[in-house]
Structure 1
Amino acid sequence: MSFLVIGECVADIVPAPAGSGAADRVHPGGSPANVAYGLGRLGRDVTLLTQLADDPAGRLIEAHLTGAGVRVEVGDVPVRTPSAVVGLDARGQASYTFDIAWTLMGGAPAGPAPTHVHIGSIAAVTAPGAATVLAETERLRERATVSYDPNVRPELMGEHDEAVARVERCVALSDLVKASDEDLAWLYPDEEPHTVAARWLALGPAVVLVTRGAAGSLALTRHHTVAAEAPRVDVVDTVGAGDSFMSAVLDTLAGRGRDALRGLGAEYLAGLLRRAGTAAAVTVSRAGAQPPDRSELDAAGKEFAVRSGRVW
C-alpha cells in the first residue's frame, strides 16, 4: 500500500511572548505535509509532492518529514518557503496569518502508481498550482482511491461562491472526504453538517467525515450515520489535530478499494472514528503538529477504551 500526498508545506511561526527576549518558534506545518508526516509516523509508505525553497524553513521541514520516513518530491522551487504566523487563544485554539503562494508545476514522481492519493487545503484550490493538483488526481484516480480535506482558510479562498465550486470539484473526485464543522460553517452558512454531507455524498464520495473538536466526530455514508465522542484530554494546542485525525483514518482504511469503502458498516465506522479521534487527542495534548506513532496510538487507544469501558 503506497500513499501519495499532494500539497503545501508551511513553516508555522509561533511568536515569542512580548518582552520575553525569547526567539520565535518555527514548527513544520501545512495540512497535506502534516498528513504525510502522520502516515510516516504510522509506518506507511508515503510520498509528498510539494514545494520547498532552499532556505532555513525549507530545510527544517524537509528534515522533519524525511525523519518520519516520508519521501519528499519537490515539484517546484518557490522563492521562499511558505509561512504562517500562528496565534493561540486561551483554549489553545490556533489561528493563522499566511504568507504563501502555490505555483506547483511538476507532476507525480515517476515509478509505480500510488494506491491512494490525498489532496487538500490551500494546494487544492489556489491557482495556479491547484490545476496541477487536480490534473494529477484525475489521472491517478483510475488506479488509486482519493481522499480530500478542504481545511478551509477563508483569507486565501477568494470569492465565496467560486471557492465553494472549487471545493465541490475536489469532493466529486474523492472517495473519502473529511471536513471540520468550521469548514462547513464557512462554506455553507446556516446549513447543518448532515445536510451538507448528504449533498457531498451525492457528488460521488463513499464516506464523508465531519470533525467537531471536543464534540467528537461523524461518519456518513449512503446507508449509515455514526457519531463518536472525542477522548477527554488536557489541550495544549489544536495545531495539526485534524491532520492527525486524517492520517489515522487513512492508515485504518489502507488497502480498501472503492467497493470496500462503499460497503463500510456502522460498527466499523464507529471504530474508525474512535481510532482517528484518539490520534487527534494525542496531538492536542502536546505542542505543535506532533501526531502519534503506532505504539503511542495503540497505547492511548487502550487507555481511552478502559476509561470508557470499551474494548480497543
Structure 2
Amino acid sequence: MSGHALVIGEALVDVVVTADGSVARHPGGSPANVALGLARLGRDAELLTWMGDDADGALVRDHLAESGVTLCAGSMDASATSVATATLDATGAATYDFALEWSLSPQARTRPEPMVVHTGSIGAVLEPGGASVVARLEAARDTSTISYDPNARPSLMGDPVAARVAVERIVALSDIVKVSDEDVAWLAPGEDLEQVLLGWLAMGPSLVVVTRGGEGATAWTAEGRVDVRAPRVAVVDTVGAGDSFMGGLIDGVWEAGLLGAAQRSQLASMDLDTVSAILERCARIAAITVSRAGANPPSKPELDA
C-alpha cells in the first residue's frame, strides 16, 4: 500500500543525564520519534512540528532528514527549539523535565490525504497548539486513519483528571490507540487497567494496545484480546521505546493493508492472528531500541536481518 503518513507533534532535544552524571544531547520528541521510526521502516513520513531555526533545531532537522523524514512548511517558525531533560536511574528508566512551548504555525502546510495521521504526547494536549491538533484530526477522519499515543508527561499535563478529559477526547477520534501501563495508572489512578482500556475501545477505536515495558503488550479489538511477550535484552535506556513500538504498530497495520478511512470497517474486524503478528514485531522493534542509547529505532533491513 502506497501513500504517506502525517505525524503532528513536538520535536525537541533530549538532554539525557545518566545515573553516573554524564550528559548527552539527542534529537527527540515523541511524535518526531514516531515519524523517524516510520521512515526507517521504509515509509513516506512527514512531520508537522514547532521548532526554532537555531542550533538545537538544526540538530533535530538534520537527524530527521538523515532517515528520510520530511518537515512540513511552518515547522521551523518557533522562537526557540524545546528541550526535555531525561534523568536516568540505575535501571535505565527515565524521568523528564521540560522547557517547552507548543503551537502550530499559521503558515503550516501538509500534503493532502495521508494514509494515517498520528499524534500524541505533549503536542496533542498542550495549548495553544493542542486545539489546532484536534481540529486537524477531526478534518482528517474523512480520508485517513487516526492513531494516538497519549504518552503522558505529568510535569506538563498537570491535573490527571483534566488531562484524562483531553486524552479521551482524542481517543474518541482515533482508530488506533497505544498507551503504556504507567500512563493509564497516572490518568486513571486506582482503576482496573483492562476496564479503562475496554472503555476506550467502546469510545470508537478499532485497536487499543497497552505496553508494559519488559513484560510485553496487550491489545483489545472487537474480536478479543491478544497478549505478547517482550524479547529479553540488556537495557541501555528506555528513551524512545514506546515511540518505536508506536511506529511499528502503524507500519504493521499499513503492511496489512488496513490504513485509510476507506479501510475503517476492515480494521475494526482485523483477525487476532494479524494483531498478534503485528504486536510481536512491535515488541522486537522496541527491544532493539532499548538495547542502545537514545531514541534510535531500527531500520527495516536491521529489523529483518
Aligned 8 A contact 1:107 1:132 in 2 = no
Residue 204 of structure 1 corresponds to 204
Q: Secondary structure at the match of 1:156?
A: helix
* Worse-matched range after superposition: 219-228 or 281-290: 219-228
1:257-268 equivalent positions in 2, closer than 5 A: 257-268=263-274
Paired AA for residue 13 in structure 1: V
Paired AA for residue 227 in structure 1: D
Residue 242 of structure 1 corresponds to 242
| Residue 71 (structure 1) aligned with residue 46 (structure 2) | no
| Residue 13 (structure 1) aligned with residue 15 (structure 2) | yes
1:17-166 equivalent positions in 2, closer than 5 A: 24-73=23-72, 74-75=74-75, 77-106=77-106, 109-166=109-166
How big is the alpha-carbon RMSD for the aligned residues of Structure 1 and Structure 2? Answer: 1.6
C-alpha deviation, 1:17, in angstroms: 7.7
Aligned 8 A contact 2:181 2:212 in 1 = yes
Q: Which runs of 5+ in 1 are unaligned?
A: 300-312
Cα distance in 2 for residues equivalent to 1:103 and 1:118: 16
Paired AA for residue 277 in structure 1: A
Q: Secondary structure at the match of 1:51?
A: coil
Aligned 8 A contact 1:215 1:230 in 2 = yes
Paired AA for residue 47 in structure 2: L
* Worse-matched range after superposition: 197-206 or 251-260: 251-260
Count of aligned pairs between the two proteins: 296
C-alpha deviation, 1:166, in angstroms: 0.2
Deviations 1:76-122 (Å, cap 9, x if unpaired)? 62221000111111111111111111122437625432111001000
Paired AA for residue 7 in structure 2: V
Aligned 8 A contact 1:75 1:106 in 2 = no
Q: Secondary structure at the match of 1:196?
A: helix
Q: Which runs of 5+ in 2 are unaligned?
A: none
Deviations 1:199-233 (Å, cap 9, x if unpaired)? 00111100100000011000101221110000000
- Aligned pair in 2 of structure 1 residues 143, 185: CA closer, same or farther (>3 Å)? same
TM-score by length of structure 2 reads 0.93
Q: Secondary structure at the match of 2:103?
A: coil
- Aligned pair in 2 of structure 1 residues 259, 16: CA closer, same or farther (>3 Å)? closer
C-alpha deviation, 1:142, in angstroms: 0.7
| Residue 269 (structure 1) aligned with residue 271 (structure 2) | no
C-alpha deviation, 1:60, in angstroms: 0.3
